[in-house]
Amino acid sequence: MQFIDIQEFSPEVCAKLQYYVYALISPLDETIFYIGKGLGNRIFQHELEMGRDSEKNRIIQSIQAAGKSVKKYIITYGLTEKEAFYVENALISFCGLMNKKQLKLDVLANLMSGHRSDNQKMEMLSCGTTDEIQALLAPQSLPLSALGQAKIMFVKVKPTSDVRDLHRDLNQEKLLNPYDENLRLRTVGWWKMSQKKADSVEYIVGVYPKSGLIVSAYRVLNHPQRYQYENGRYNFELNTQFVDEINGQKLFAPRIKVIATKFVDENGKISTTQNPISYNF
């Protein structure tokens, strides 16, 4: 998934981030050279504050001399200022220990990713580049009417295990990849619906219910055996094709949420409905 190189966060994202801790990385050798805490657009200001001579500024100047930009990562957010101070201190100490002891870092064996702050729990992404954070915390709104007359079934897709099949298990990382096979299997079935709806649906679109973000989309192919049926539930696994647009509207670049549905109202507010399916037909 490609993102644009943004120069600032939108006011909506700044409000969601609150205090955050971030890292600056050199694209010349992919090393972290600065850990900081910030509020608003603090992470972008280092490249604009080059007056004082310091090691940080010398590194930034070398990056700019090579015609490149500093890579910027939000490590965690949704913090109070006091919490941000603690996290900043811990990360600076950790990086110092890694460097001093020449330690190596591989894939962690932790079963859990750790506790999120209350303000992170509603979002798909707890850390990432600045452009990923901007795109995923403030997806662009697209009116349902822009998708034309296509018969669409919107389904809630959550990062949970699946009791039917481990190949349908999902985590946050898989939800961020619209091409993921587990995500495809979860999106296209098994759904409790009427035969009339199953016979008519043309597209199945996966929605992350806490933000309304579109995470997956498939076209149901015309085929005599278009679905499997079992105990009142329908599965379109064998007759769907990935799509990244409907009616000429891009669904993933930039990231969007479709408004004026049962999941997201016309003002972009997330609905509390418990129904996992919403139709436009």
Which segments of 139-180 are extended strands (E)? 140-143, 152-156
Among the residues of the chain, which ranges form H helices?
Answer: 11-17, 55-65, 81-100, 130-137, 172-175, 181-188, 195-200
Any idea what DSSP says for residue 7? S
pLDDT, tens digit, 9 for 90 and up, residues 38-84: 999 999 999 998 878 899 999 999 999 999 999 999 999 999 999 99
pLDDT at position 4: 60
Residue labelled with tokens 């009791």: 163
pLDDT, tens digit, 9 for 90 and up, residues 13-38: 999 999 999 999 999 999 999 999 99
Structure tokens at 55: 């090691």
pLDDT at position 1: 47
Q: Rounded to whole angstroms, how far apart are CA atoms 129 and 165?
A: 33
pLDDT, tens digit, 9 for 90 and up, residues 188-220: 999 999 999 999 999 999 999 988 999 999 999
Structure tokens at 165: 């099949």
Any idea what DSSP says for residue 253? T
Structure tokens at 4: 């644009």
Burial class (CB in 10 A: 0-12, 13-18, 19+), 208: buried
